[in-house]
Structure 1
Amino acid sequence: MVPVEQLLILITAGVASLFMAWTIGAGSSGSAPFAPAVGARAISVMRAGFFVGILGLAGAVLQGENVADAVGTGLVGGVSLTALAATVLLLLAAGLVAVGIFTGYPIATAFTVTGSVIGVGLALGGHPAWAAYIEIGTLWVLIPFVGGGIAYLTGRLLRCDSISEHHSIPVLGAVVGLVLANIPFSLLGSNSDSASIAGVVTAGLELPMSPLFGQSFVSLIVALLLAVILRWDLDSDIESAQRHFLLVLGGLVAFSAGGSQVGLAVGPLLAAFNDASLSITVPLLALLAFGGIGLLVGSWMGSPRLIKAIAQDYASLGPRRSIAALIPSFAIAQTAVLFGIPVSFNEIIVSAVVGSGFAASGSGMSTRKMFYTVLAWVGSFAFAVVVGYGIMEAVEIVF
């Protein structure tokens, strides 16, 4: 039997987690995926907010497990987050993200949540998980260079006069198909393991080859299929084909956002429910669906503001630059999901937008806006660590 005080704290932690999911949906995961498509006028702001919510919920349920485990148990060693600690850090992180939403500057959610977990965990007596910090920090630092660099090269490819879009876009579609065929889905696996489309098809067909070659063969088939569809669409109408490809990419990034960002909201809650002093067991899938619903509602209610900010304030995007921005965003997001690394979709998308912008001679880029955005990212992480530590110390004294 759970004491009434602990039950009340768990309920409060659940509300804080839902609020965190709402702010993520209204902020990074709700605004970033379709912002380039809105900037290219391939979809309206309100429709983008609607679809990103649905796709984010699907991604949360199908791909949210790895990041949720990492955030809940992998950032501080020697201690487990209690329900009270989870409540404190979720309220702090959500508050910082909410400030970013209402001021128009996209705060990197992964920075605030990671900083809050570290600060609160250290206040509980835990020790730094340096190996995890190196892994996370390396990806955070590489995102602007890798994502921006790939977006730049892709943008240059699409703008190259000597290469027809009838060739370049199908090739890019094939690359997306290769990634899509190999990303993990929790419902396709057995027990607690995830599985990819290529892996499931290979096992189901019982191909007379090794699993590695079988999955490679299936992946190539998927890539070729997408390339053929895009080529057929391009032959019908180039502009319509660009918009269709752009919307598919936005959907894939929105799905990936749900799989990554839901872990930031429910990871601390998962740790709280795993508290050894409690006798409550909640299935991870139920927590992921709970967080996914929060993402959905946040996307529907609050994302249009930041969608407009990223799509119009950072750059005037056309279809080519938008495609160039979304392809590396999808690949980086799925890499983070695979390794369970919390990442900010604002950082991913903004870096890719900047890279694709330089491919178009930097037209439409707001240097002042970029400077304050990066400053907000770094400041929010440091602030979350320090304030999270201080608040948890004060809470422990009081309680």
Structure 2
Amino acid sequence: MIEVTAAAFFMAWAIGANDSAKAVGTAVGSGVVGFRRAVLIVAVFTTLGAVIGHSAVSGTITELARGLSPGEVALALFSAASAVTIASLWGRPISTTQSIIGALIGSSLALGLSVDWWTIGKIVSAWFFSPVLASFLAIAVYRLYKPLLRRIKCLKNLELTQKWLVFLASAFSAFNLGTNEVSNVIGLAKAGGMSDPNAFLALVMAFGTLTFSYEVMMTIGKDIAPLGPTSAFSSQFGASIAVSTANLFGLPVSSGQAIVGAISGLSAYKGEHVNKKLLVDIVKSWVRAPLFAGILAFLLVKLFSAGF
């Protein structure tokens, strides 16, 4: 039980260091929201999402962890958190969801357990679907949003409207982070024997945001493509709708893939520069992270499962 709690806290901290940047990175990168205020947004709305979001995602993750002992669940969480932490050191917005799924597969294979490949297949299909959907939704939001802004003649009112909309989009995205990514950890923590870990893990995740998320925020908010308030809102809101859609079906998708798809798709649509080299590197990290987590979990479970 202690090892599960420690590993779950490590994973929640790692999510804060990486995934929270995808909730508020566009707001910080566009200059609408400062870093400290962004941390507050994550702390409040992620906790709300974890506590009242009622996502079916944690149940999906719990099903995939069936057959693992609490110690083996802890090793899977540790492996996934290690992969996410390494990516955060490089400032790469990877998928913590994929890292967790990779670790669960590696653990199951090490123990000779059957893997629910049908569920894995549905989850993987959602990973490809979410960035594409987010891209189209961001463009649709932009096309609806831009003409409405032109009707606001007062510059002060225009700036205030844009700031509030970017704030609301970030809050919505942070809420989704609680119902999706944090739900992944909650599902595994419950499978490992923790009771009611929702609020605790969300607060630990907020601490990860405060201590280690700035580099990933800059990657999201500035390095992929230049973002103004209009693009920031459209990208964030489009990505949030895509993640919310996945939540309804209990599919643990990546908010990171959604926001990267939304930013790059909208920027390409607007004819703006997109850092293609960085995008390729990010996509490669999406493949490396679950592989690393899966291999590490496989090795650790092989080495230590006899002791649990």
Please give the TM-score of this superposition, normalised by the length of structure 2.
0.92
Contact 1:148 1:353 in 2 (8 A): yes
Match status 1:246 vs 2:170: no
Aligned-partner residue type, residue 13 of structure 1:
V
Name the aligned partner's letter for residue 2 of structure 2: I
In structure 2, do the counterparts of structure 1 residues 359 and 154 end up closer, same or farther at CA, with 3 Å as the change threshold? farther
Q: 1:151 aligns with which of 138, 144, 152?
A: 138
Matches within 5 A, 1:127-166: 127-158=114-145, 163-165=147-149
Partner in structure 2 of residue 31 of structure 1: 21
Asked if 1 retains the 8 angstrom alpha-carbon contact of 2:79 and 2:294, the reply is no
Q: Distance in 1 between matches of 2:154 and 2:43?
A: 29
Asked which structure has the greater CA Rg, the reply is 1
Q: Once the 2 structures are TM-superposed, how far is the Cα of residue 63 of structure 1 from its aligned partner? A: 1.7
Match of 1:70 among 60, 68, 89: 60
Q: Tell me, in whole angstroms, the C-alpha distance in 2 between the residues paired with 1:349 and 1:132.
A: 24
Show CA shifts across 1:320-341 (max 9, x none): 2112202221212212222222
29, 38, 46: which is aligned to 1:56?
A: 46
Change (3 A) 1:235 1:373: closer
Report the equivalent of 2:299: 390
Q: Which residue of 1 aligns with 2:6?
A: 15
Q: State whether residues 64 and 258 of structure 1, in contact with CA within 8 Å, keep that contact through their aligned partners in structure 2.
A: no
Instruction: For residue 213 of structure 2, give the secondary structure of its aligned residue in structure 1.
Output: helix
Shift of 1:130: 2.3
- Contact 1:322-1:356 at 8 Å conserved across structures: no
Deviation at 1:82, TM superposition (A): 0.9
How far residue 376 of structure 1 moved from its aligned partner, in angstroms, is: 0.5
* Alpha-carbon distance between aligned partners in 1 of 2:97 and 2:295, rounded to the nearest angstrom: 16
User: CA offsets per residue over residues 104-152 of structure 1, 9 Å max, x none?
Assistant: 1122101101110111123223212122112111111111211112223
Query: Counterpart in 2 of 1:265?
Result: 185
Please give the secondary structure, in 2, of the residue aligned with 1:127: coil
Q: Distance between the aligned counterparts of 2:83 and 2:8, measured in 1?
A: 14
Deviation at 1:55, TM superposition (A): 1.2
Q: Percent identity between the aligned chains?
A: 26
Q: Secondary structure at the match of 1:106?
A: coil
1:166–1:234 contact (8 Å) kept in structure 2: no
Once structures 1 and 2 are overlaid, which stretch shifts more, 107-116 or 296-305?
Answer: 296-305
Q: Secondary structure at the match of 2:197?
A: helix
Aligned amino acid, residue 243 of structure 1: K
Give the partner amino acid of 1:336: A
Match of 1:381 in 2: 290
Contact in 2 for aligned 1:234/1:241 (Cα 8 Å)? no
Is 1:330 the counterpart of 2:273? The answer is no
Q: State the distance in 1 between where 2:87 and 2:170 align.
A: 23
Q: How many residues align structurally?
A: 308
RMSD across aligned positions (CA): 2.2
Which letter does structure 2 place at the counterpart of 1:165?
Answer: L
The separation in 1 between residues aligned to 2:266 and 2:229, in whole angstroms, is 11
Moved runs in structure 1, 4+ residues, more than 4 A? 156-159, 233-236
2:275 alignment counterpart = 366
Task: Find the counterpart in structure 1 of residue 71 from structure 2.
Answer: 84
Q: Structure 1, unaligned stretches of length 5 or more?
A: 1-9, 168-230, 274-281
Cα distance in 2 between the residues matched to 1:387 and 1:64: 31
CA contact (8 A) 2:39 2:206 kept: no
Query: CA offset at residue 236 of structure 1?
Result: 7.2
Cα 1:348–1:391 change in 2 (3 A) is same
* Aligned counterparts of 2:118 and 2:179: Cα–Cα separation in 1: 23
Counterpart for residue 350 of structure 1? 260
Matches within 5 A, 1:116-135: 116-135=103-122
Contact 1:56–1:257 under 8 Å retained in 2: yes
Q: CA deviation at 1:235?
A: 9.7
Contact 2:30 2:222 in 1 (8 A): no
- Shift of residue 258, structure 1, vs aligned partner: 1.1
- Which residue of the partner structure matches residue 33 of structure 2? 43
What's the CA shift for 1:24?
A: 0.3
Shift of 1:305: 2.7
- 1:57/1:295 contact within 8 Å kept: no
Q: Cα distance, 1:397 vs. partner?
A: 4.8
Flag the 1:234–1:374 CA change in 2: closer, same or farther, 3 A.
farther
1:101-250 superposed matches below 5 A:
101-158=88-145, 163-165=147-149, 237-250=157-170
